[in-house]
């Protein structure tokens, strides 16, 4: 199934900042979002439920990996919806 991504302003601004200041990480995030769109089950995403978070309407929130072992490896937090075949990206933030 192919999804359409919707990004919070916060997520959008992180992408814009990285495009200016860290092109390598920016490229990794674009690839991650591309994979989420076309193949949400791609092994490199390591997608899993993040049970201590929930969406604004009680949606299950998931974490996807941008990187694994790199310093300040980024993670993507997202949930399904609000419409079918849509994914809302809440935040893209580095893992310490």
Partner 1 sequence: MDNQGFQVVKDLVQPDGRGRISLGMPASGKSYRVLINDEGQILLDPVVPVPERELWLWNNPDAISSVRKGMQQVVQGEVHDQGSFAQYADLEVED
Closest contact distance (angstroms) between CB of 77 and partner 1 is 6
Closest contact distance (angstroms) between CB of 89 and partner 1 is 8
Residues that bind partner 1 in the complex, under the rule CB under 8 A: 2, 4-12, 14-15, 24, 27-28, 30-31, 33-39, 50-53, 55-56, 67-70, 77, 88-96
Q: Environment class of residue 16 by beta-carbon count within 10 Å: exposed (0-12), middle (13-18) or buried (19+)?
A: exposed
* 5, 33 Cβ separation under 8 angstroms: yes
Nearer to partner 1, 30 or 47 (CB): 30
Residue of 57, 89, 59 lying closest to 76 (CA atoms): 89
């Amino acid at each position: 199934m192919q999804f359409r991504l919707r990004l919070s302003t916060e997520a959008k601004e992180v992408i814009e900042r990285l495009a200016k200041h860290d092109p390598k990480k920016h490229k990794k995030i674009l690839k991650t979002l591309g994979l989420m769109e076309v193949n949400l089950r791609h092994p490199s995403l390591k997608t899993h439920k993040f049970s201590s978070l929930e969406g604004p309407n009680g949606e299950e929130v998931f974490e996807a990996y941008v990187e694994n072992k790199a310093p300040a490896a980024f993670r993507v937090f997202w949930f399904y919806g609000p419409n079918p075949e849509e994914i809302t990206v809440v935040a893209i933030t580095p893992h310490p």
